[in-house]
Chain A
Amino acid sequence: MALPTYASPLEKVWYYAFRVICAVVFLFLIAPILVVIPLSFNAEPYFTFTEKMLAFDPAGYSMRWYDTLLTLGSSAPDGPRDSGWWSATWESATWIKAAKNSLWIGFWATILATSLGTLAALGLSRPEMPYRRLITAILISPMIVPIIIIAVGMSFMFAKACVDSGSALGTILGPFLSNRGCLANSDLGVIVAHATLGIPFVIITVTATMSGFDQSLIRASASLGANPRTTFFKVIMPLILPGVISGALFAFVTSFDEVVAVLFIAGPEQQTIPRQMFNGIREQISPAILAVATILVIVSILLLTTVELLRRRSDRLRGVTGR
């Protein structure tokens, strides 16, 4: 939108003022995310820039808060950093344990949400699908209904959803359930809750990819003698894969970032990174939180890059040009 030649002086002023306004809004969007990065290297236990930091004095910066992430809660925080120290850290440090829990829960929630969600999206984008609008509305609703309501409902329900540890089902699910064989306070409970919250994102991204999908390709493949399975893996899957992967990443981020359901239905064993951060901010906020935040910002930059590249690839495959 270059400035037209017929613009009046007032419009010229407005043109530049508009750019300044936009710059301020972009600053508002991005500054809060970037500000934590330098502050996480603060040598002092403060949340603001010290004079030494502003003077770019190396003494004002340190890695101590990143070090705290490794030593907090560790069974052997001091001592030389040999293999024994590292294995103790790996086994017992609070933040490492939280990271392992988050990844474990996120992985299974993603698998569950993506597999079920992709299948459903395939069905929803078929022209013959009955009650499409109603069913889509139901499947998207976990994103619209406030998490607090879902968490309250689940916490009532999961406390009652128990299996007898002696039964066949109890033997299979036992390791995933709590000591009393219930969904509440168990890994499986959190995984199921997070999968439910991630499903709308999978549905939305995969159906978006399917919207440009030429349904006659399925008939073409069938007419050339492919059975439905071959058609799925050789024709449909390669075309929708970018959408599926983006959906999976969305589902993973939803789980990785989720804290309300964890607060309501998880036990002390399911300490995840967001829960640890939430408690840290509520109780005694230390710059170690900023170190975690910085790591998470870097992770989100990587995820965003991946999703953007996938989206462009998908657009290219489907022959869509431009945004």
Chain B
Amino acid sequence: MTDTTSGLTTSDGRPLKAALLAAQSKARRRAFLLVAPLLLFVILTFILPIAYMLQRSFENDGFSDSAPQLAAWFAEHPDGSEITEGAYAALVADLATMQANKTPGQAGTRINYTVPGTISLFKAAARKAEDLTPPYKEALIALDADWAAPKLWAAMRSASTSYSADFYRVAIDQKRGEAGDWARGAERERIYIYLFVKTFILSAIITLSCLLLAFPIAHLLATLPMAKSSLLMILVLLPFWTSLLVRTTSWIVLLQQQGVVNNILVALGLIGDDGRLVMINNQTGTIVAMTHVLLPFMVLPLYSVMKTIPPSYARAARSLGATSWTTFRRVYLPQTLPGIAAGSLLVFILAVGYYITPALVGGADGQLISNMISFHMNKSNWSLAAALAAILLVAILILYWLYDRLVGIDRLKFG
């Protein structure tokens, strides 16, 4: 067998196997060359910025740049060594430089991430750094006893390197304990984990309400005759094509206290004029507006699965004596599961990272983690914003991987 195939040659005398392999690899190269320009573009404009952001989340410049002498002292003396006069002298020299460069606030802010309340400590000490005389240890502690705190020195040590994982610790609500080790922050300082959990819970609620609303209309669209369903499909696709800001504005118009929904309810006498419902600038606003915004992403995958379910199955079940509820539960629903999985995952993924709608209609308690990232970007807390974004990215990538395994990315379609 091997002999016969290896004996075959093309007309120009090459072995057939080699010629086929060459032709195949040429075809592969050609296909890849078509994709290459876009792949390069996406690597440059998408992968690289995200890689840069990940690097930024470890970058530790706020303190290390302005305290070079102390950093040098930390480099010479390994973790656990006693904080000597030399360290205090280096710190005082750095504080004097900070005062000259106007950076004590910046350095204090960096330490403040892990030991709250240190911004004023740094500012006050930097103002007086020029006038301090040796021994510096006693002089600084006389200024403020906090300068002897082990947690402060542990925080300064980890902030003095150019890269550190401190921001991830901060992003999961950890602070320096009294002895300088990591511990959970005080109750009122635990904001990020709470916000991550809230983001996931709100996204789950939004996904569920999308599913509940989308299921009946997807079923209707899949079972109606073509002409009617095409017409109704436009009602699903129009929101999909309408600007997100327009839809968000509409919900402000509808839900605000002097808005259309409240006016209708008052006119119908369901609520009193003084009992107008607060439906915007809170979690309700976020949930309602985002359900509306993401609903088409649930309807379309559900519809495309329901379209393929033959109606004869349900009829067969009925003819065998099943009640309509049993038919739905045992025959129809299991067949729609791929659509439910596809739609739910897509809506959940999109909801977790949403920014615009919560920012505009979420008020104080309807904010999601994206809004916190934006908040820290505006406050120039770059590294913390990057660390929060990195955690969110990991969550999204896990969901994306799940989506690819369960549904397949090539199944994504619009309309």
Contact = CB atoms under 8 A, between A and B. Distances in A.
B252 A281 contact: yes
Interface string A231-260: 000000000000000000010010011011
Given A22-B216, A28-B292, A290-B249, A193 B45 contact: yes
A47 B259 contact: yes
B161 to A, nearest CB: 20
Contact of A129 (B28, B41, B53): B28
A147 B248 CA distance: 17
B236 A139 contact: no
Contact of A145 (B223, B247, B396): B396
A4 B353 CA distance: 45
A56 interface: no
A146 B355 contact: yes
Interface stretch (A71-79, A87-95, A174-182, A298-306): A298-306
B100 interface: no
A33 to B, nearest CB: 5
B234 A304 contact: yes
A22 B223 CA distance: 13
Contacts of A293: 243, 245-246, 249-250
B305 to A, nearest CB: 13
B226 interface: yes
Contact of B258 (A48, A117, A136, A289): A48
A105 interface: no
A128 B21 CA distance: 12
Contacts of A119: 34-35, 37-38
Contacts of B260: 35, 47-49
Contacts of A103: none
A153 B51 CA distance: 8
A297 B246 contact: yes
A32 interface: yes
A138 interface: yes
Interface in B27-43: 27-28, 30-35, 37-39, 41-42
A249 B372 CA distance: 32
B376 to A, nearest CB: 9
Contacts of B374: 148
A141 B46 CA distance: 9
Interface of A, secondary structure class, is helix
Nearest to B45: A196
Contact of A278 (B245, B253, B256, B404): B245
A30 B235 contact: yes
A85 interface: no
Contacts of A155: 377
A124 interface: yes
Given A48-B263, A153-B50, A281-B360, A148 B35 contact: no
A224 interface: no
Contact of A297 (B30, B242, B244, B370): B242
A47 B42 contact: no
B316 interface: no
Interface stretch (A57-65, A162-170, A200-208): A200-208
A195 B46 CA distance: 11
Contacts of B34: 119-120, 122-123, 126
B326 interface: no
A307 B403 CA distance: 27
Interface residues of A, number: 97
Contacts of B400: 137, 141, 144
Nearest to B220: A22
A113 B256 CA distance: 39
Contacts of A98: none
A323 interface: yes
B410 A278 contact: no
B113 interface: no
A222 interface: no
B129 to A, nearest CB: 32
A323 B226 contact: yes
B365 to A, nearest CB: 18
A48 B257 CA distance: 10
Given A128-B24, A156-B382, A311 B35 contact: no
Given A30-B235, A126-B27, A260 B292 contact: no
Nearest to B263: A48
Contacts of B220: 1, 18-19, 22
Given A122-B34, A154-B49, A323-B226, A148 B353 contact: yes
A136 B46 CA distance: 14
A35 B254 contact: yes
Interface in A270-323: 274, 277-278, 281-282, 285, 289-290, 293, 296-297, 300-301, 303-304, 307-308, 311, 322-323
A80 interface: no
Contacts of A156: 49, 52-53, 56, 382, 386
Contacts of A29: 235-236, 238-239, 292, 295-296
A117 B30 CA distance: 16
16 contacts: A19-B220, A25-B217, A33-B238, A36-B253, A129-B35, A139-B35, A145-B397, A152-B373, A154-B45, A156-B386, A157-B49, A256-B243, A260-B356, A281-B248, A308-B237, A323-B307
Interface of A: 1, 4, 6, 11, 14, 18-19, 21-22, 25-26, 28-33, 35-36, 39, 46-49, 112, 116-117, 119-120, 122-124, 126, 128-130, 133, 135-142, 144-150, 152-158, 160, 192-193, 195-196, 199, 201, 204-205, 207-208, 250, 253, 256-257, 259-260, 264, 274, 277-278, 281-282, 285, 289-290, 293, 296-297, 300-301, 303-304, 307-308, 311, 322-323
